[in-house]
Amino acid sequence: MSQQPFTASTLRGAVDLSSLKKPPPSASSPTGAAADATTSGGAGLVVAGTDESIRDVLAASSHHPVVMVIWSSRLAESADFVATFETVARRYAGRFQLVTVDADNNPTILQAFQVRAVPVSFAFLQGQPVPLFEGAQPEAQVTGVVDQVLALAQQHGVTGTVSVDELAPAEVEEPEEPPLPPLHQKAFDAIEADDLVGAADAYREALAENPADADARVGLAQVGLMQRTADADPAAARAAAAAAPNDVDAQILVADLDLLGGHIEDAFNRLIDTVRITADADRNTVREHLVELFEVVGTGDERVKRARKALMSALF
């Protein structure tokens, strides 16, 4: 398989690292000297990720860069690739944390990241996943991309490190996080229960109480994105949009799918192009939707700033 484009997605999440565990030594674990980093002295530098601890991976990436490799104990090539990544991680001496995920035991992660084959790898920075590779790569290629990840992390102020000799995250006492506001917790619980309507209602109630609640506004926009794309057929949606460039609803759906898949600039450019060829109510619908997607990504994101300028040019 080929290397994937180096682009970030809009997934967000924040919890602590407490549920990441060291993988137990077994015959199915990656072999070689690099495997020792996972099971002994490298605890914290190389950890095993699970369906239950994926949010911990996202949270950790706010402090230091995280790389996740999804592999299978049934495939020697993927186990060897994990060993290669572990070697690189040890050489960088804690400048990033490596999380290994056994695909055979973590179906939720496979579904969430739409994994079709392993090994596959992602970086995480401030809770956002960045696709790195599909397929095994030589050590030199891995090192080059790690350098890019670290440069990107530096730009975003993610400069923390992982001590090679630190205790396993499960053994470290983490500071207690402050509770969410009641309506935000209600929305979060609804999302966990797959009740998107309930989550949206909770965020609307929070905004009714405090129209300046930026977190509620972003949360509502994110839930809306999830609702609109929940039952979409990506292939059919793209075919419909290609056949009808002036169909506002068709273009919006594909933009939503692009954003959810991490193709942020593609989503923005599609809607900006639609603004250019529409007028009156249709144009305003597209403009308002694009502004909502800006909220999902984050108004401080450089891609949002560039898209705002392009939108102004398209409107005037």
pLDDT in tens, 46-78: 899 898 888 888 888 999 999 999 999 888 888
What's the pLDDT at 230? Answer: 86
pLDDT score at 165: 54
Give me the pLDDT at residue 24, please. 38
Per-domain residue ranges of the chain:
35-171, 182-315
Say if CB 181 and CB 200 are below 8 A apart.
no
204-to-211, 218, 219, 224, 287 alpha-carbon distances in Å = 9, 11, 10, 11, 21
Under the banding of pLDDT at 50, 70 and 90, the label for residue 121 is: very high
Give the mean model confidence (pLDDT) for residues 116-129: 89
Name every residue whose Cβ is closer than 8 Å to that of residue 291 and which is 6 or more positions away in sequence. none
pLDDT at 30 over 60: no
> Mean pLDDT throughout 188-194?
89
Residue of 3 and 274 predicted with greater confidence? 274
Is 60 exceeded by the pLDDT of residue 10? no
Question: What pLDDT band is residue 177 in, cutting at 50, 70 and 90?
Answer: low
Q: Is 35-171's fold the same as 182-315's?
A: no
Q: Is 8's pLDDT higher than 60?
A: no
Q: pLDDT tens for residues 207-265?
A: 999 999 988 888 888 888 888 888 889 999 999 999 999 999 999 999 999 888 788 99
Mean pLDDT of the chain: 81
- pLDDT > 80? residue 31: no
Number of Cβ within a 10 Å radius of residue 307: 23
pLDDT value at 6 more than 50: no
Query: For the residues 18-36, what does the mean pLDDT come to?
Result: 38
Residue 197 predicted with pLDDT over 70: yes
Q: What is the pLDDT of residues 279-295, one digit of tens each?
A: 999 999 999 999 989 88
- How many Å apart are CA 167 and CA 257, to the nearest integer? 40
Class of domain 182-315: mainly alpha
Fold that domain 35-171 belongs to in CATH = Glutaredoxin (3.40.30)
Q: What is the pTM of this model?
A: 0.45
Q: Rounded CA gap, 202 and 189, in Å?
A: 10
What burial class does residue 81 get, using C-beta atoms within 10 Å of its C-beta: 0-12 exposed, 13-18 middle, 19+ buried? Answer: buried
| Per-residue pLDDT reduced to its tens digit, 79-116 | 899 999 999 999 998 899 999 999 989 888 888 888 88
| Contact assessment for residue 67 and residue 85, using Cβ atoms and an 8 Å cutoff | yes
Distance CA 228, CA 257 (A): 9
pLDDT score recorded for residue 76: 86
pLDDT of residue 43: 42
